Chains A and B, each alone.
Chain A
Amino acid sequence: MYALNKVDKHFPGVHALKAVDFQVGRGEIVGLVGENGAGKSTLMKIIYGAYQPDGGSITIDGTTMRFQNPRQAMNHGIGMVFQEQSLITNLTVMENIFLGYEQQFVKFGIVDWRAMAKAARHQLTKVKLDVDPAAVTSQLSFAQRQLVELAKVLTLEERIDGDLVILLDEPTSVLAKEEVELLFQLVRDLAKRASFIFVSHRIDEVLELSDRIYVMKDGAVVDVVTRDEADVDDIQHKMVGREIDKEYYREQKQAPYAADAPLIRFDNVSVDNRYRDISFDLHRGEVLCLVGTEGSGREAILRTIFGLETPTSGAVTIKGEQVTRFTAMAGVARGVGYVPRERKVEGIVNGMNVFENMTLSQLNKYSDLGVLRVGDEKEMAKDWVDRLAIKTPDIRKDCGGLSGGNQQKVVLAKWRSGGSDIILLDHPTRGLDIGAKEDVYEMVREMNDAGVGIVLVADTLEEAIGLSHTIIVIKDGEFQKRFDGTPGAKPSLYDLVHHMI
């Protein structure tokens, strides 16, 4: 019924989807699994109309379609239930359900609330949710909101002719076990009215619900299995199976770390609703990688080290001193440098030039009584531009105009020049091309040689394995397993995935 034929999608430097074939039959529940970065979300965005494919075609019942935006896709029966819930919490349930389609209830410019409530109640019975349509959405539980979202998508049933395809993006991630059961039951019932595409990183759930499962890796569909022949181990292997190139991650340069006096010691540290009872040591010259799925708590641990989150229990010791003040300022003073994932938001200041960005965290080192020594700043910046081979025509150039890789180097230079010896890297290679990635890996090894300890949240599992001395796997905020990453004894992707999901 619904089909993608050889769909291709390119982004600058990335071939995100490679000739993907994808079909959904009437009343079918199709599963979609893959690692982070495998192309799941790009595929979903093409399906619900947020992206347009560069090549290939989309057909519904054999007719070729081209959607310019999600609204057009919706008008052809394709609805999306978002992972990050898309309801506006200060509006009522019924307003949310009919957001953008209120016109049907308007007479002479006045909204007939009673008619809207009635229609909303009709939608809510489809998802077996018994709430007052006039209730404000923020009063509902997460699970209830999920169902409202589903009800909102199901309004398509009345609005359009033809079949419905509903995308569910990680719908279970915020639900409790029994709520998941209810949702699955509901989806099975609704399969009479609509087809579903179910995206999740929990393979057991996908297996339980789906009739057929698409496995994606590196932007391509590597396998399609039916429920009867599916096997969890087999799917996991297909999701990750790949030989690791040792050269690429500079494994030959991986030297043992100094096992004495740790830089950071986490002793049963917890932050409410983020992670519980995490313990580890970070040593000089070590790369410690936190591995887990999105939302597993790895970012929160980085933020705690830097001082942006305050632990609710447990002790954090940095360089032998127990930390009592959790602020970014104190973190910087302790020698912690944070290279965030969102370079544009948290990494570099757009509009400030290269040397201004580098000295931002250490202005008191480059000033006397508040008056800047711009000459010294420039000298330092020139030095680091050479050392890290930052490609910029001039240190006066606006950082916003540099390439992603060079921006990343500026951020690293900022911390390294300031003498930080604990560096937190959050997805340091996200959005970089291959050459720039290799530059980052090279810098990681150089920093290790200089006695810097690094806590890494890697962009891919290969990267985590290739770079790390130590890997800690976290799932749902809890410690799962510690792996040793000495070259030659590195864990396999499969070992990690097994504990992650």
Chain B
Amino acid sequence: MTDISAQTEALGGLLTRDRIVRWAPVLVLVALVLLFPFFEFLADLVEGKEHVYLLDSRFFSIRNGARIGIAATPALMVAVGATFIIIMGSIDLSMEGTISVCAVLFAFAFLGWGGTLASWAWLAIPLALVVGALLGFVNGMIHVRLKIPSFMASLAMGFVGTGLALLLTGGDRLRVEDELFRSLLTVRWLNFPIMCYVALAFLLLAWFIQSHTALGRNFYAVGGGEQLAQSSGLNVARVRIMGFTLAGIFFAVGALLAVGRIGIAETATGNNFMFVSITAVVVGGTALWGGIGGVWNTLVGVLIVNVINNGMVVIGLPPYVQDGVLGTLVILAVALSTNRKSVTFVK
């Protein structure tokens, strides 16, 4: 397994192609973090203002770090869910629909059962997770039992989810204004809101699943060699279905954090998560054909995507440039990690 954290070899070794590819995401992240303050520095230099590099930067500040953290946490949860699927060599595109359904059902239940975490309404949280798991399970069943390619099965399920959410809300926005729930955003420890710590906890959980459970090991086995996994006696179908179910749960966590961040649940809650999360997974260095990568890669990927988004706002680039930059980044990331000598045909 090659997750970034598990590097036991000394760094003093040769700069092999493998090693460069493996560490490229981290290098890119560091470079970006240093690059944006440099632009600020240049801008102030032109205007003749006094500016000490990094120290006077608006981008390179704790306040902005927290801003990036807040923006990144829901996407991180979604991307972590997608990571498991991509490690298996499949893909899950159902996140937008799943998030909308989870967010909307959560809001209905939460508001209906008391409207504050201090009442029975807290049950809406496990409910949302169960709904996410259920959607993921159905997704996996469709993919495995009907033998529909995962991208098609999940894309279709995503549309079903979006439609369902719209049907439930009738296009309305549900406001979740409970102070206790919103403390996810409003209460800060060490400058970072609670939601960042919640996300960190789930990231650690995901890492534990990835590296310390049979299920996690099986994801890598299926992605690295499905035929072999089967002839080692693995129930590959079951592993796949459990993978999609697990991803569904992480999508639901992402939905809860997204609602906590803006205090609104609606059909549009799920918008944009597909592109951002898949981009993050791929940019982080998890291979699209499976078997390589992990949740730490995804953390780096999510940070890269959000640093770019945030940094471009700070230096004043228009938002439509951002998508173009991200798209280019995906192509670069995949091109870098593909060994074209061993791949003859691509479908």
List residues of A whose CB falls within 8 A of some B CB: 306, 308, 328-329, 331-333, 338, 340, 345-353, 356, 359-361, 363-364, 366-367, 370-372, 374, 396, 414
Q: A347-B228, A351-B1 are in contact. Are A367 and B214 (CB under 8 A)?
A: yes
Residue of B nearest to A359 (CB): B217
6 sampled A-B residue pairs with Cβ under 8 A: A328-B230, A329-B234, A333-B233, A349-B220, A360-B234, A374-B212
| B33: min CB distance to chain A, Å | 30
Residue of A nearest to B213 (CB): A370
Whether the Cβ atoms of A340 and B231 lie closer than 8 Å is yes
Query: A374 to B210, alpha carbons, bound, how many Å?
Result: 13
Q: Which of A353, A360, A361, A366: most chain B Cβ within 10 A?
A: A360
Q: Which of B8, B225, B234 contacts A396, CB < 8 Å?
A: B8
Whether the Cβ atoms of B212 and A372 lie closer than 8 Å is yes
On chain B, the residues within 8 Å of A352 by CB distance are: 1, 220-221, 224, 291
- Is B235 interfacial (CB 8 A cutoff)? yes
- Is B66 interfacial (CB 8 A cutoff)? no
Q: Which of A346, A351, A359 contacts B227, CB < 8 Å?
A: A346
Q: Which of B8, B228, B234 contacts A346, CB < 8 Å?
A: B228
Whether the Cβ atoms of A356 and B234 lie closer than 8 Å is no
Whether the Cβ atoms of A346 and B220 lie closer than 8 Å is no
Q: Which of A360, A364, A372, A374 contacts B232, CB < 8 Å?
A: A360
On chain B, the residues within 8 Å of A332 by CB distance are: 232-233
| A285: min CB distance to chain B, Å | 24
Query: A370 to B218, alpha carbons, bound, how many Å?
Result: 11
Q: Which of B213, B220, B230, B233: most chain A Cβ within 10 A?
A: B233
On chain A, the residues within 8 Å of B283 by CB distance are: none
Residue of B nearest to A330 (CB): B233
Whether the Cβ atoms of B229 and A349 lie closer than 8 Å is yes
- Is B292 interfacial (CB 8 A cutoff)? yes
| B294: min CB distance to chain A, Å | 12
Query: A345 to B228, alpha carbons, bound, how many Å?
Result: 7
Whether the Cβ atoms of B213 and A371 lie closer than 8 Å is yes
| B20: min CB distance to chain A, Å | 17
| A495: min CB distance to chain B, Å | 34
Query: A332 to B231, alpha carbons, bound, how many Å?
Result: 8
Q: Which of A338, A351, A360 contacts B229, CB < 8 Å?
A: A360
- Is B215 interfacial (CB 8 A cutoff)? yes
| B216: min CB distance to chain A, Å | 8
| B10: min CB distance to chain A, Å | 13
Q: Mark B195-238, 1 if CB is under 8 A from A, else 0.
A: 00000000000000000111101101100110111111111000
Query: A179 to B234, alpha carbons, bound, how many Å?
Result: 44
Q: Which of A306, A308, A333, A346: most chain B Cβ within 10 A?
A: A346
Q: A367-B213, A370-B213, A372-B214 are in contact. Are A338 and B231 (CB under 8 A)?
A: yes
Interface residues of B in 123-161 (CB under 8 A from A): none
Query: A299 to B8, alpha carbons, bound, how many Å?
Result: 41
Whether the Cβ atoms of A345 and B227 lie closer than 8 Å is yes
Whether the Cβ atoms of A361 and B224 lie closer than 8 Å is no
Q: Which of A329, A349, A370 contacts B235, CB < 8 Å?
A: A329
On chain A, the residues within 8 Å of B1 by CB distance are: 351-353, 356
Whether the Cβ atoms of A350 and B212 lie closer than 8 Å is no
On chain A, the residues within 8 Å of B338 by CB distance are: none
Query: A356 to B220, alpha carbons, bound, how many Å?
Result: 10
Query: A329 to B239, alpha carbons, bound, how many Å?
Result: 13
Top 9 closest A-B pairs, CB basis? A332-B233, A349-B224, A361-B232, A363-B214, A349-B225, A367-B214, A360-B232, A351-B291, A329-B233
Residue of A nearest to B209 (CB): A370
Residue of B nearest to A350 (CB): B224
- Is B2 interfacial (CB 8 A cutoff)? yes
Whether the Cβ atoms of B217 and A349 lie closer than 8 Å is no
Query: A345 to B229, alpha carbons, bound, how many Å?
Result: 10
Whether the Cβ atoms of A356 and B217 lie closer than 8 Å is yes
On chain B, the residues within 8 Å of A306 by CB distance are: 231
Whether the Cβ atoms of B233 and A349 lie closer than 8 Å is no
Q: Which of A329, A331, A351, A363 contacts B217, CB < 8 Å?
A: A363
Query: A356 to B228, alpha carbons, bound, how many Å?
Result: 13
Question: Contacts A348-B228, A350-B291, A351-B1 given; 19 further ones with Cβ under 8 A?
Answer: A308-B231, A328-B232, A329-B235, A332-B232, A332-B233, A346-B227, A348-B225, A349-B220, A349-B221, A352-B220, A352-B291, A356-B220, A360-B221, A360-B232, A361-B234, A363-B214, A370-B215, A371-B212, A414-B232
Query: A266 to B98, alpha carbons, bound, how many Å?
Result: 51
On chain B, the residues within 8 Å of A396 by CB distance are: 8
| A339: min CB distance to chain B, Å | 10
Query: A366 to B217, alpha carbons, bound, how many Å?
Result: 12
Interface residues of B in 244-288 (CB under 8 A from A): none
On chain B, the residues within 8 Å of A346 by CB distance are: 225, 227-228, 231
On chain B, the residues within 8 Å of A359 by CB distance are: 217
Whether the Cβ atoms of B228 and A349 lie closer than 8 Å is yes
Query: A352 to B232, alpha carbons, bound, how many Å?
Result: 14
Query: A139 to B214, alpha carbons, bound, how many Å?
Result: 47
Residue of B nearest to A415 (CB): B232
Q: A329-B235, A360-B234 are in contact. Are A350 and B214 (CB under 8 A)?
A: no
On chain B, the residues within 8 Å of A345 by CB distance are: 225, 227-228
Residue of A nearest to B224 (CB): A349
| A395: min CB distance to chain B, Å | 12
Whether the Cβ atoms of B220 and A361 lie closer than 8 Å is no
On chain B, the residues within 8 Å of A360 by CB distance are: 217, 221, 228-229, 232, 234
| B263: min CB distance to chain A, Å | 36
On chain A, the residues within 8 Å of B218 by CB distance are: 363
Residue of B nearest to A360 (CB): B232
Q: Which of B2, B234, B235: most chain A Cβ within 10 A?
A: B234
| A424: min CB distance to chain B, Å | 10
On chain A, the residues within 8 Å of B235 by CB distance are: 329
Q: A345-B228, A360-B234, A361-B233 are in contact. Are A370 and B214 (CB under 8 A)?
A: yes
Residue of B nearest to A331 (CB): B233
| A92: min CB distance to chain B, Å | 22
Query: A346 to B291, alpha carbons, bound, how many Å?
Result: 15
On chain B, the residues within 8 Å of A308 by CB distance are: 231
| A290: min CB distance to chain B, Å | 18
Residue of A nearest to B216 (CB): A372
On chain A, the residues within 8 Å of B213 by CB distance are: 367, 370-372
Whether the Cβ atoms of A364 and B214 lie closer than 8 Å is yes
On chain A, the residues within 8 Å of B217 by CB distance are: 356, 359-360, 363, 372
On chain B, the residues within 8 Å of A364 by CB distance are: 214
Residue of B nearest to A396 (CB): B8
Residue of A nearest to B238 (CB): A329
Q: Which of B228, B229, B234: most chain A Cβ within 10 A?
A: B228
On chain B, the residues within 8 Å of A371 by CB distance are: 212-214
Residue of B nearest to A400 (CB): B224
Residue of B nearest to A336 (CB): B233
Query: A382 to B241, alpha carbons, bound, how many Å?
Result: 33
Q: A360-B221, A372-B217, A396-B8 are in contact. Are A351 and B228 (CB under 8 A)?
A: no
On chain A, the residues within 8 Å of B292 by CB distance are: 351
Whether the Cβ atoms of A351 and B224 lie closer than 8 Å is yes
| A448: min CB distance to chain B, Å | 23
| B89: min CB distance to chain A, Å | 11
On chain B, the residues within 8 Å of A363 by CB distance are: 214, 217-218
On chain A, the residues within 8 Å of B291 by CB distance are: 349-352
Query: A398 to B58, alpha carbons, bound, how many Å?
Result: 44
Residue of A nearest to B2 (CB): A351
| B91: min CB distance to chain A, Å | 18
Residue of B nearest to A308 (CB): B231
